[in-house]
Chain A
């Protein structure tokens, strides 16, 4: 695997990863994201429907938590998890936890990390973990690590433990990998822990960088417990300690504004669970990443005539906020009554299968009648929209237009705050 940087702009790295995969021929552009899967399948999507999506990432993220019960099945299968899940030619990254489902706290110890599968808790020692990886044979492996520092009640001592344990797991796993012929072409990803303690983060970064890892995962930045400024400062400090020529991954970050913030701090690769979460709440990603807008459309927008139907009346706000408090301003909630007779596409100009073939009214109908097809169509749209967003980030970096993209995204992010504060105002008035 080789990382070549073509440009660094305001801390953002633009580049390519080459010689990926078992045959060493695949290439991935950075910054980019992974294809999110559950139990080895992108949610709602068969291989055929996945093929209709443009810009599908070349690295597929599998999670141990959704696959852990298949250990003995894969051992008997012998041909690796890629073949088993019907993706024999994909580059596979096996991470520990499913980003959609938060882990209960307090179950890790010096010898093991707990993975939460469908059947409950599974204790992973390094030997059990590596046995599993030998059966799975992924291309990239997130090393067994203790990331149990996100609950907001993490002491300094606990933060130190997360680093000590993760380093010791890393050393053991590397040794075990050396002895495993099945894993000779797999790449170990070192995991940087340390909670919200700067010294521990720096120690973790420096020490992990000394090991023969192929890339780095910035872990423990999931969740809401850590203050935004702390997160960003720590990320900056961590990536400063890491070699330039190895990719930096992060888990748990999905919103477009947060993605940009992390890229500015030297992160390369993200997950794509965010479009899945949007799908599950019956929403479609609708935010614009077009930093090269048609000048006429800009004037119309400035004059207050909105095309996206996003003018928030009190009724609309109530309907939206009743739906799901997690809804952001990057998306539209298609169950809203106003979409019942809206025969336009989910997003004007979108080239995804859903927008090319179906209307907001149809998807609204499918949601109201609880049809499975709603999830399929929304997932197709949301994945494509999200992958296109990453494409636009790379374009913006190439064209030196990052500031315009940032301004566009952050402007839309602010509307979330407005939306939610208007909603609480309305509730207050009653």
Chain B
């Protein structure tokens, strides 16, 4: 809705239900998604591909495209690279994602390789289908699962295509963190320095900090808003499950140092009282959690500009985990790999 000042410049939208009958025509009438939502800043749309893995029970993937059922009205949809780009062109988003053949990071075997090569072919079909290359930036999505050889191959091929940006896909889906960070850094090592790197589906604060250190620029995650709707507030030292009884008489704001509208006016105790019965609680927590995320990223940027990023990371980890023994080992390793040694 009304974006907070200094708010997010990009808003991630999902394409699946725009694949409904007459969806693109309706959006054209509304002057694109910006017009329909009355959003004057930037928009990024996903291809609809992620739904294959996350939302849909019955889907069939062929070389042609993905066949699945709309979660809203049960209609059967065939999503091809061409169709996905057609929809995204109609939506008029500033950044569009290619349709990729998404495979869960926990899957092994030949399916991973098949999906990787298909994603390259689908990237080419998406590039060909984009009728507004000057206004809408089409990003490639690097696949290859957790297999370094496959991922490297994918990177080699995709970086041959002239796209404005690259996403690192197929991660953040339940794989072990040890493998996760290695695939991220492998990808950033091979992606061009002068183009944005968008790590999809990340995430938690620690993951954001570490992956910035590994060379990622952009992120998306449902976590902050979803956890807000489930009654939890994000704070620099973790998360407060405001809906828990322990907060019933806690009259402090969520975070005394937070300047968001929720923290300036409301206490944990009141939020606790609201959360059981009123949707407002979800909005108040959402505002705070988004403010937290934006503040975190702003702090990261400032520390980079002021050449003190490693110190920032150190302070972040201390605040979040308290002591060295509690630092997640994968994070320590990942940071060490880019010469940030934690104390």
**A contact residues vs B (CB 8 Å cutoff):** 38-49, 66, 69-70, 72-73, 76-77, 84-86, 118, 340-341, 343, 357-359, 361-362, 365, 368-369, 372-373, 375-377
B-side contacts of A66, CB under 8 Å: 277
Contact status B36-A369, CB under 8 Å: no
Contact status A47-B26, CB under 8 Å: no
Given A45-B280, A369-B17, verify A358-B269 contact (CB < 8 Å). no
* Residue in A39, A73, A341 whose beta carbon sits within 8 Å of that of B269 in the complex: A73
* Residue in B29, B248, B280 whose beta carbon sits within 8 Å of that of A43 in the complex: B280
Q: Which of A48, A66, A118, A359 lies at the interface centre, i.e. has the most chain B CB atoms within 10 A of its CB? A: A48
Inter-chain contact count A-B, CB under 8 Å? Answer: 82
A-side contacts of B237, CB under 8 Å: none
Contact status A41-B265, CB under 8 Å: no
Contact status A73-B249, CB under 8 Å: yes
Given contacts A44-B280, A72-B249, A84-B270, 13 further A-B contacts (CB under 8 A): A41-B274, A41-B278, A43-B280, A46-B284, A49-B283, A73-B248, A76-B249, A77-B249, A77-B251, A85-B270, A358-B38, A361-B30, A376-B1
Contact status B261-A48, CB under 8 Å: yes
A-side contacts of B270, CB under 8 Å: 40, 84-86
Given A39-B273, A85-B270, A361-B26, verify A372-B282 contact (CB < 8 Å). yes
Q: What are the interface flags for B1-38 relative to A under an 8 Å C-beta threshold, 1 for contact and 0 otherwise?
A: 11000000000000001000000001001100000111
* Residue in B38, B267, B269, B280 whose beta carbon sits within 8 Å of that of A41 in the complex: B280
A-side contacts of B280, CB under 8 Å: 41-46
Q: How many residues of B contact A (CB 8 A)?
A: 31
Contact status A361-B36, CB under 8 Å: yes
**B contact residues vs A (CB 8 Å cutoff):** 1-2, 17, 26, 29-30, 36-38, 72, 248-249, 251, 261-262, 265-267, 269-270, 273-274, 276-280, 282-284, 287
Contact status A362-B284, CB under 8 Å: no
CB distance from B287 to the nearest CB of A (A): 7
Given A77-B251, A84-B267, A85-B270, verify A369-B72 contact (CB < 8 Å). yes
Q: In the complex, which residue of chain A has the Cβ closest to the Cβ of B275?
A: A39
Contact status B273-A46, CB under 8 Å: no
Q: In the complex, which residue of chain B has the Cβ closest to the Cβ of A78?
A: B251
B-side contacts of A49, CB under 8 Å: 1-2, 283
Q: How far is the CA of A362 from the CA of B1 in the complex (A)?
A: 12
Enumerate 10 A-B pairs (CB-CB under 8 Å) in ascending A order: A39-B274, A45-B280, A46-B262, A77-B249, A343-B29, A359-B30, A359-B36, A361-B30, A368-B72, A375-B279
Q: In the complex, which residue of chain A has the Cβ closest to the Cβ of B286?
A: A372
Q: In the complex, which residue of chain B has the Cβ closest to the Cβ of A77?
A: B251
